[in-house]
Structure 1
Amino acid sequence: MVKNVAIVSLSSGLAGEEYEKFALDIGLKRLEKYGMNVKFMPNALKGIEYLNDHPEKRADDLLQAFKDPDTDMILCAIGGDDTYRLLPYLFDNDELKNAVSDKIFLGFSDTTINHFMLHKLGLNTFYGQAFLTDICERSSEMLPYTKKYFEELITTGTISEITPAEVWYEERTAFDESQVGVPLKEHKCSGFELLQGSPVFSGRILGGCICSMYDMFDSERNEDMPQLCKKYGIFPDKDEWKGRILLLESSEEKPSPEKYRKSLDHLKAEGVFDAVSGVLVGKPMDEAYSEEYKKLLVSVIDRPELPILYDLNIGHANPRCIMPFGIDAVVDAEKQCIRFSDREHAK
């Protein structure tokens, strides 16, 4: 059972802005109802400008959270777009390697890069939810499907099975205090869709936001990001992908089909699709470009025998499950489930 939670802001400092205080209050009350002791790390609430100017402080928070023997779970406040800037402060002198310990690490979006950092050091992590986006959801309660997986993680330390949600929700157009108690518009889910390949496949899952992965190879957003990611060997090489299952989900930017194709092309050039045993793809936010993405996945990957399972409730489209990375998984499209072994979540 998770008792002590440390909240970190590894990307955006949004959690520290005054206009987000009402949301923090919502989230803290919900966590406290679970009997949790919640600690914001020293720099987590210093705001957007400060954390933008001080990536080393964001890195310090992560290191301290891992070193704290009382912390059971490290929960990311939200994503962003520049957590790669923590790399020198975490890897130049083996800082993260020397600090990392057996804790639950949960986050998504730009946090994809942090997941790859921790994978490099042998720690299995959990992808799919964050504090501001999920625990602080403006509806009267956490979204039921999201809540189900969060409760399983904090009570058991892992996730045993993922099945489709019954409904998906349109994204809010506003996030201010006027949205408190306002329900999200919902639509019926049709379940996981097998685009090609065997309905049953297995492996250990790794991946995350395709937009963050794109930025690891393209300098369009951050000029130095590809260079730094290459210097520190953050993206796994082809051999590390052998037998794994790749998870892909797209961001709130709703990348155009052209950019989605470029993202897939980068992964293909790295040999990922020749190595993995299958691909899992999250539902796009508001189902934007969904049909185009399906066609691109099939055409760019160009391996008809490689299983591709589409429309998972993971990442940027609400509601969100939690996906364990590095744990043996069996995907069964016919039974509409992904089952995980009960081995320890961390090595």
Structure 2
Amino acid sequence: MPEFIKPSRLQRGDTVASVSLSSGFVTEVPHRYEAGKRQLRDAFGLQVVEAPNALRGAEYLHRHPQARADDLHWALENPEVRGIFSVIGGDDSVRLLPHLDLDLIRRFPKVMLGFSDTTITLMQFLRAGVHAFYGPAILTDLAENAGIRDFVARGVRRALFDARPFGLEAASEWTEEHVDWRDEARQEQPRSFQPSDGWVWLGGRKRVEGHLVGGCLEVLDMLNGTPGWPEARLWDGAILCLETSEDVPPPSQVGYWLRNFGAQGILGKASGLLMSRPKAYTPDMTSRLYDWVKRVAWEFGREDLPIVANMDFGHTSPQLTLPLGAKVVIDPTKATVDVLEAGVS
């Protein structure tokens, strides 16, 4: 397995930087951003400071990818900043690749938290040899209506604050209820959640270990073939964690992406596969998705591959926080997924 640097764990009283590496949408919902900051303070004792360009708006940030990369570098070099939290995702942080300094990431390893389009940046942390964290953004579950859910708080605390192994858990309830973030009156009204069916086991019988690598499939597709695509060594023996976005790609498209991973040799070398609850899928779409996943595993001779689906990470709520790069074990006989080492030191 590749060796990674563990960033220092967060503690109460620490300052974290908010960064808009993908979209400047935050300026359209300032009340929700303030709610996220307040809830981070109340739940974890964290103080949030904005990176210099984080609140400059969507048009400015779209025109200036260098400014977004500068914000990441500023947060890394700033001795008062202990962690870096993504404000929100987007669709074009692949444009940051020419401007990112991987040597700086390695020299100043810090907690980096985000998901969706932040997949681009998290992958560069792995390429620099530093653990990264696939979890909620400030405007999503950290600014959840009426407060951060207990499931989310536990996941963040275990991954970012506790320097010890931990088990992943299935949420007892989940939601896709849409709330207009621009409606300030709704911020303190909780969303409706429904009972969860738990994880779905699609394949594999043997206990396996590997390091976590993955993210949002649509974003990985944008990254594929660029200089920011992880080197082969980072995929070797990995447990893949893959999810889909609100774009709602059809099951066949997910199958095509997995075939690409098969053709690259990634599936052949993988130790296991974790898949999130697909955003906005009907039961029929979910069934067809599972058929596609099992079909592609068979096509590339990986019927032995342990596959866990319907997990609570990515574009679902509430979200887990996954320590990318950390060693994980999948045990089909016990129906467990455990993180064998802390993501932080």
TM-score normalized by the length of structure 2? 0.89
- Distance in structure 1 (CA, Å) of the matches to 2:309 and 2:105: 37
Per-residue CA deviation, residues 130-176 of structure 1 (Å, 9 max, x unaligned), is 11112111x21112211221233443256622111101112315222
Q: Which amino acid aligns with 2:207?
A: V
Percent of pairs with identical residues = 32
2:204/2:332 contact within 8 Å kept = no
Amino acid across the alignment from 1:306: L
Corresponding residue of 2:86: 76
Structure 1: gaps of 5 or more residues: 218-225
139, 152, 170: which one aligns with 1:146: 152
Task: Kindly indicate whether the alpha-carbon contact (under 8 Å) linking 2:136 and 2:321 is maintained by their aligned counterparts in 1.
Answer: yes
Q: Contact 2:251–2:286 at 8 Å: present in 1 too?
A: no
What CA deviation, in whole Å up to 9, does each residue of 1:267-314 have, x standing for no partner?
222111111011000011244421121111111222211111111100
Q: Which residue of 1 aligns with 2:124?
A: 117
Cα separation, partners in 2 of 1:255 and 1:344, compared to 1, 3 Å: closer
Counterpart in 1 of 2:297?
301
Seen in structure 2, the aligned counterparts of structure 1 residues 184 and 112 have a Cα distance that, compared at 3 Å, is same
CA, structure 1 residues 174+149, in 2 after alignment: closer, same or farther (shift >3 Å)? Answer: same
**RMSD over equivalenced CA pairs, Å:** 1.9
Report what 1:183 is aligned to.
190
Describe the SS at the equivalent of 2:305. coil
Residues 317, 345 of structure 1: alpha-carbon distance in 2 compared, 3 angstrom cutoff: same
- Where does 1:1-347 land on structure 2 (aligned, <5 Å)? 1-2=10-11, 3-15=14-26, 17=27, 19-33=28-42, 34-90=44-100, 95-100=101-106, 101-137=108-144, 139-156=145-162, 160-176=166-182, 177-198=184-205, 200-217=207-224, 226=225, 229=226, 232=227, 234-288=228-282, 289-302=285-298, 303-343=302-342, 345=344
Q: After the TM superposition, which of the residue ranges 170-179 and 238-247 deviates more from structure 2? A: 170-179
Runs of at least 4 residues of structure 1 off by over 6 A? none
Q: 1:4 to 1:336 in 2, by over 3 A?
A: farther
Give the Cα separation in 2 of the matches to 1:215 and 1:301: 23
SS in 2 for 1:64: helix
Asked whether the equivalents of residues 16 and 82 of structure 2 are also in contact (C-alpha less than 8 Å), the reply is yes
Distance 2:276 2:206 in 1: 17
Q: AA paired with 1:313?
A: D
Corresponding letter in the other structure for 2:250:
S
Secondary structure in 2 matching 1:116: helix
* Change over 3 Å in CA distance of 1:157–1:178 after alignment to 2: farther
CA shift digits 1:228-284 (9 cap, x unpaired): x2xx2x222444322110111110111112322222222222111111011000011
Contact 1:146–1:320 (8 Å) recurs in 2:
yes
Task: Please give the alpha-carbon distance, in whole angstroms, between the structure 2 residues aligned to 1:35 and 1:52.
Answer: 32
Residue 345 (structure 1) shift: 3.0
User: Is the alpha carbon distance of 1:333 and 1:130 closer, same or farther for their aligned partners in structure 2, counting shifts above 3 Å?
Assistant: farther
Corresponding residue SS for 1:80 = coil
> Contact between 1:284 and 1:316, CA under 8 Å: does it hold in 2?
yes
Q: Counterparts of 1:131 and 1:157 in 2: how far apart (Å)? A: 23
Distance of aligned partners of 1:32 and 1:128 in 2 relative to their CA distance in 1, 3 Å threshold? closer
